[in-house]
Structure 1
Amino acid sequence: MTQRLSKDALTGFGECLAQLGLAADECTEALGQAKCVAAPRGEILLHQGACQAHGYFIVDGILGAQHYGDCGGLFSKEFYFEGELCLLYHSLLTADAAPYQLEAVTDVTLVRFPLTLLKQASWQGVLIALLSQQLLYKEEKEAFLLLKRPEERYIYLVNHRPMWVERLSNVQLARYIGITPVSLSRLKARLA
Structure 2
Amino acid sequence: MLGKFTKVTEYFSDMGVPPQAVKSLSTQFRLLSLNPSDILLAQGTRQDYCYFIMSGTLRACHYGENGLERCKEFYFDGELCFLYSSWLQGMSAQYQIEAITAAEVVRIPLNLLTLPSFLQAKVALLQQQLIFKEQKEALLLLHTPEQRYRHLLQYWPHWLTRLNNIQIASYIGISPVSLSRLKARIKS
How far off is 1:75 after superposition?
Answer: 0.9
Other-structure match for 2:130:
135
How far off is 1:29 after superposition?
Answer: 2.2
Query: Are the aligned partners of 1:165 and 1:173 in contact in 2 as well (CA < 8 Å)?
Result: yes
Per-residue deviation, residues 59-83 of structure 1 (Å, max 9, x unmatched)? 0000000111122111111000000
- The structure 1 residue matched to 2:31, chosen from 12, 36, 47, is 36
- The structure 2 residue matched to 1:144, chosen from 139, 142, 145, is 139
The one-letter code of the counterpart of 1:173 is: I
Q: Determine the C-alpha separation between the residues in 1 that align with 2:11 and 2:39.
A: 24
How far off is 1:23 after superposition?
Answer: 1.2
Other-structure match for 2:184:
189
Instruction: Please state whether the residue corresponding to 2:98 is helix, strand or coil.
Output: strand
The one-letter code of the counterpart of 1:48 is: Q
Of the structure 1 ranges 21-30 and 180-189, higher mean CA displacement relative to structure 2 is found in 21-30
The one-letter code of the counterpart of 1:111 is: V
Q: Determine the C-alpha separation between the residues in 2 that align with 1:27 and 1:16.
A: 10
Q: Determine the C-alpha separation between the residues in 2 that align with 1:148 and 1:89.
A: 26
Unaligned runs of 5+ in 2: none
- The structure 2 residue matched to 1:107, chosen from 99, 102, 107, is 102
1:42-191 to 2 correspondences below 5 Å: 42-191=37-186
The one-letter code of the counterpart of 1:165 is: L
Of the structure 1 ranges 123-132 and 24-33, higher mean CA displacement relative to structure 2 is found in 24-33
Q: Does 1:14 align with 2:9?
A: yes
Q: Determine the C-alpha separation between the residues in 2 that align with 1:46 and 1:71.
A: 21
Of the structure 1 ranges 42-51 and 115-124, higher mean CA displacement relative to structure 2 is found in 115-124
Unaligned runs of 5+ in 1: none
Q: How many residues align?
A: 187
The one-letter code of the counterpart of 1:112 is: R
Q: Determine the C-alpha separation between the residues in 1 that align with 2:153 and 2:18.
A: 37
The one-letter code of the counterpart of 2:169 is: A
Instruction: Please state whether the residue corresponding to 1:96 is helix, strand or coil.
Output: coil
Runs of 4+ in 1 over 3 A off after TM superposition: none
Instruction: Please state whether the residue corresponding to 2:93 is helix, strand or coil.
Output: coil
Of the structure 1 ranges 20-29 and 144-153, higher mean CA displacement relative to structure 2 is found in 20-29
Query: Once the two structures are aligned, what percentage of the paired residues are identical?
Result: 46
The one-letter code of the counterpart of 1:64 is: R
- Length-normalised TM-score, structure 2: 0.96
How far off is 1:35 after superposition?
Answer: 1.0
